[in-house]
Homo-oligomer: A and B are copies of this chain.
């Protein structure tokens, strides 16, 4: 790392708290054997990261393929000052799956911010298995 910034690793709780404090991030997944990444809205609910399926249609397709109903994805959110590089970022890796229960899906959909997902009929839940977060501060 550069000499300008100090990086501090957050605890899991702190990292999930930061993630919950912002309305969107980026989901990274495999799509036809290539890495893919898309910005989507999220909400942290019941210790899961919920994203609308319209922003992650390809994820659903991947999860629906083959023998497994889930697919491993990485999710990232950050708040970084472009000029100084200070701020934080959080990365969560875990299994993503379509929420099949209609009542559960409806509840999550209501909790999602409105700019995506308002019309989404489906939502995807990501169970955080690996959680990492860093806070970057200016070095004195």
- Chain A interface residues toward B at CB < 8 A: 1-5, 22-24, 26, 28-30, 34-39, 41, 54, 72-76, 78, 80, 82-85, 89, 91, 93, 113-120, 130
Contacts and interface: CB of A to CB of B under 8 A. Distances in A.
| 4 nearest A-B residue pairs (beta carbon) | A85-B115, A28-B28, A35-B74, A28-B37
A1 to B, nearest CB: 6
B118 A82 contact: no
Of A24, A37, A89, A130, most B-chain CB atoms within 10 Å: A37
A122 to B, nearest CB: 13
B4 A114 contact: yes
Contact of A2 (B26, B80, B91, B116): B116
Contacts of A116: 1-2, 5, 85
